[in-house]
């Protein structure tokens, strides 16, 4: 436990000791700000019943932030350490492989959530200027952040896995971007297809990330989605653990 | 089983995709010894150390540290080892003190204990005045000491240092050597190097590796004695040539001799003694008895350098 906490702290501080952390946050903040400009423009034209979080979600910036930030956050986790050789000092310290994987994932997740915090500020500003207390509905905001957290878990665990596979940060980012984008496109595809009762469409429907996140932004928590995201995260973390362990396979 | 043995390596083999980096080596290290793994680059020293430090698995054979198998009890073994890898990788974005504290905590020391130990090792490695500097901005010598301090911070029983003095200037090398020697009292140290005088100066015992096998393992003195069978004694004596020749021929301890004229009345005698005997007192006694003038008397000791070159020389060269 002590090793896990120590390592998580080190990983998290790693983001802020180099420029990477600040650049990622600045870029995400820029995109969030842009999306709120679009959103406020829309609100001026016509009143709507949608909660602000949903309005934010249907601007294209949400997925852009998610898809671009997760590979950049996770690419350094293992690849950088393998490249610089510190992986050797880390793995020869008395820490278990599981602690290492979990600590790195936790640090990435905490950083990712810090990156999303300015969204709260944006929502508060909207409430302030619309003078409508319902614009900042706690339930909807909570479920939006839950959705962000769960989707983040999925994409970050995917990124962890990619980073553990290689010594090059660029390769790690490429792999996780490709797989992340594929997941997203599968989600889009499933919302485009007509519902016909065949097993293919049913599988696709289960993977409709696009629609599921829409639910979260609307304030609806669908347990199927929660289970899907958590189990996929566990799967990718397990895969990462196996990759890290493979070094010691005979 | 564990009678004072710190490291037991039995028939260790490590293959990387078919190519054997280490083949079937065995050696032991007792507690409190400083042992040098010596060999040219690519001899398998680093691989052996990585297996000892539980970073890589062995292909076959057993490796035990303090009686514990490195594969079965990996975490327990790692707790007892302080390992500094080749090229000494560090987190360059951290400060010295911060890094050492992070490492101490990672190795399971309590908050208070880690604070104490970090102070001690920083003192030991002469890092106290750079404790707040960022590691990436330190000179190579200081970084090396940070690596050493990291290896020592949890008071390991066994310290494994892979090429600890590589790339340092002579002053820093001396300082690092001093430090390693000072550790000997309560730690076992295994260092690897391809620089021979270093091993000669710091180690109680040397294991010479070449192309994945062990060629020789003994104390520096014994290795030298082993080689001194081929040593020579040089004497410059002012005496008639025939008398000298006759005298050496009659001496049973002399296996071979060669007398050649030097300047003036002196002759240069090169004698090869039997069984590495030291003939110098005999020669001095002889010169005194016969009233010869003796102006030089030396034994050509084979330095470890010769031994090293001899045992690590490729076989083809010896044949030709």
Mean of the per-residue pLDDT values of chain A:
88
Chain centroid to Cα B33, Å, comes to 11
Kindly state whether residue B319 falls inside one of the protein's structural domains: no
DSSP H stretches of helix in chain A: 2-17, 19-45, 52-57, 61-74, 76-84, 86-91, 97-116, 118-130, 138-165, 169-192, 199-206, 209-218, 223-245
Which one-letter DSSP state was computed for residue B128? G
Kindly state whether residue B66 falls inside one of the protein's structural domains: yes
Final residue of a structural domain among B226, B245, B277: B226
Kindly state whether residue B185 falls inside one of the protein's structural domains: yes
Q: What is the pLDDT of residue B94?
A: 92
Structural domain tally of chain B?
A: 2
Task: Mark yes or no for CB contact B94/A17 under 8 Å.
Answer: yes
- Contacts with B12 from chain A: Cβ below 8 Å: none
Per-residue pLDDT of chain B (320 residues; tens, 9 = 90+): 446 888 999 999 998 887 888 988 999 998 888 898 888 888 888 999 999 999 989 999 999 998 899 888 989 999 999 999 988 899 999 999 999 999 999 999 999 999 999 999 999 888 899 999 999 999 888 898 899 999 999 999 999 999 888 778 888 888 888 888 888 777 899 998 877 777 777 888 888 888 888 887 888 777 766 655 566 788 888 888 888 888 888 888 887 788 888 888 888 888 887 776 778 888 888 888 888 888 888 877 666 666 667 666 655 444 43
Question: Which of the four pLDDT bands, split at 50, 70 and 90, describes residue A79?
Answer: very high
Q: What is the pLDDT of residue B301?
A: 64
Q: Which range has the worst mean pLDDT, A164-178, A200-214, B202-216, B219-233?
A: B219-233
Q: B318 or A54: whose pLDDT is higher?
A: A54
State the smallest CA–CA distance between residue A12 and chain B in angstroms. 13
Same domain assignment for residues B54 and B148: yes
CA distances to A3, A85, B49, B93, B111 from A11, in Å? 12, 16, 27, 12, 19
Task: Mark yes or no for CB contact A85/B89 under 8 Å.
Answer: yes
Q: B294 or A43: whose pLDDT is higher?
A: B294
Q: What is the percent of chain A with per-residue pLDDT over 70, rounded to a whole number?
A: 97
Judge contact between A169 and A83, C-beta under 8 A.
Answer: yes
Same domain assignment for residues B129 and B241: no
Checking if the pLDDT of A163 tops 60, the result is: yes
Judge contact between A87 and A172, C-beta under 8 A.
Answer: no
Q: What is the pLDDT of residue B317?
A: 47
Rg (C-alpha) for chain A, rounded Å, is 19
Kindly state whether residue B317 falls inside one of the protein's structural domains: no
pLDDT per position as a tens digit, A86-126: 999 999 999 999 999 999 999 999 999 999 999 888 888 88
Same domain assignment for residues B253 and B276: yes
Which one-letter DSSP state was computed for residue B134? B
Which residue in chain A is spatially nearest to B53 when comparing CA positions?
Answer: A92
Rounded CA separation A235/A153 (Å): 11
pLDDT per position as a tens digit, A56-76: 888 888 889 999 999 999 999
State the smallest CA–CA distance between residue A17 and chain B in angstroms. 6
Same domain assignment for residues B41 and B73: yes
Task: Mark yes or no for CB contact B83/A92 under 8 Å.
Answer: yes
Question: Which of the four pLDDT bands, split at 50, 70 and 90, describes residue A226?
Answer: very high
Judge contact between B136 and B89, C-beta under 8 A.
Answer: no
For the record, the structure tokens of B220 come out as 């520096």
Same domain assignment for residues B219 and B250: no
pLDDT per position as a tens digit, A126-143: 878 777 666 677 888 899
Q: CB burial class (10 A; 0-12, 13-18, 19+) of residue A37?
A: exposed
Interface predicted TM-score of the whole assembly (ipTM), two decimals: 0.86
Which residue in chain B is spatially nearest to A103 when comparing CA positions?
Answer: B106
Interface of B with A (CB under 8 A): 50, 53-59, 71, 74-76, 78-79, 81, 83, 85, 87, 89-94, 102-103, 105-108, 150
Q: What is the pLDDT of residue B316?
A: 47
State the smallest CA–CA distance between residue A180 and chain B in angstroms. 30
Interface of A with B (CB under 8 A): 2-3, 6-7, 10, 14, 17-18, 84-86, 88-96, 247-250
Same domain assignment for residues B148 and B41: yes
Same domain assignment for residues B180 and B280: no
Q: What is the pLDDT of residue B226?
A: 63
The CATH number linked to B119 is: 3.40.50.300
Q: Which domain holds residue B288?
A: 232-300
């Amino acid at each position: 436990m002590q090793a896990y906490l120590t390592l998580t702290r080190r990983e998290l501080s790693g983001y802020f000791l180099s420029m990477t952390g600040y650049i990622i946050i600045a870029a995400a903040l820029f995109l969030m700000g842009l999306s709120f400009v679009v959103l406020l423009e829309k609100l001026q034209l016509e009143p709507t019943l949608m909660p602000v979080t949903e309005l934010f979600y249907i601007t294209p910036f949400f997925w852009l932030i998610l898809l671009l930030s997760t590979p950049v956050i996770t690419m350094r986790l293992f690849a950088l350490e393998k490249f610089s050789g510190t992986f050797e000092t880390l793995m020869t310290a008395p820490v278990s492989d599981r602690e290492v994987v979990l600590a790195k994932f936790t640090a990435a997740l905490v950083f990712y959530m810090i990156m999303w915090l300015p969204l709260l500020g944006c929502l508060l500003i909207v409430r302030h200027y619309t003078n409508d207390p319902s614009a900042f509905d706690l339930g909807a905001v909570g479920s939006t952040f839950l959705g962000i957290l769960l989707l983040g878990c999925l994409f970050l665990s995917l990124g962890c896995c990619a980073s553990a596979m290689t010594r090059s940060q660029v390769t790690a980012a490429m792999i996780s971007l490709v797989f992340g984008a594929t997941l997203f496109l599968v989600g889009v595809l499933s919302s485009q297809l007509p519902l016909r009762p065949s097993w293919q469409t049913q599988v696709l429907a289960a993977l409709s990330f696009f629609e599921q996140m829409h639910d979260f932004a609307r304030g609806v928590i669908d347990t199927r989605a929660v289970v899907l995201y958590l189990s996929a995260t566990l799967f990718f973390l397990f895969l990462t653990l196996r990759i890290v362990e493979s070094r010691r396979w005979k | 089983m564990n009678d004072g043995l710190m490291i037991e390596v039995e028939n260790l083999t490590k293959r990387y995709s078919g190519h054997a980096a280490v083949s079937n080596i065995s050696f032991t290290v007792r507690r409190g010894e400083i042992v040098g793994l010596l060999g040219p680059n690519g001899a398998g020293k680093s691989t052996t150390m990585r297996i000892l430090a539980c970073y890589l698995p062995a292909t076959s054979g057993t490796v035990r540290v303090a009686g514990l198998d490195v594969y079965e009890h990996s975490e327990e073994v790692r707790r007892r080892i302080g390992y500094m890898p080749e090229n000494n990788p560090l987190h360059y974005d951290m400060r010295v003190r911060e890094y050492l504290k992070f490492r101490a905590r990672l190795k399971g020391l309590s908050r208070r204990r880690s604070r104490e130990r970090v102070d001690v090792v920083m003192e030991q490695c002469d890092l106290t005045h750079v404790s707040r500097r960022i590691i990436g901005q330190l000179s190579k010598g200081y970084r090396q000491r940070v690596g050493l301090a990291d290896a020592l911070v949890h008071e390991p029983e066994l310290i494994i240092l892979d090429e600890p003095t590589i790339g340092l200037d002579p002053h820093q090398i001396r300082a690092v050597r001093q430090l390693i020697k000072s550790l000997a009292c309560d730690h076992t140290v295994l260092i690897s190097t391809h620089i021979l005088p270093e091993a000669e100066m710091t180690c109680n015992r040397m294991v010479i590796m070449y192309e994945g096998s062990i060629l020789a393992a003994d104390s520096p003195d014994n290795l030298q004695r082993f080689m001194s069978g081929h040593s020579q004694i040089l004497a410059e004596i002012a005496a008639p040539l025939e008398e000298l020749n006759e005298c050496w021929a009659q001496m049973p301890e002399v296996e071979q001799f060669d007398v050649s004229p030097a300047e003036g009345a002196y002759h240069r005698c090169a004698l090869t003694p039997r069984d590495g005997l030291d003939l110098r007192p005999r020669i001095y006694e002889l010169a005194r008895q016969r009233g010869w003038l003796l102006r030089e008397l030396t034994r050509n000791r084979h330095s470890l350098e010769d031994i090293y070159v001899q045992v690590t020389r490729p076989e083809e060269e010896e044949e030709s």
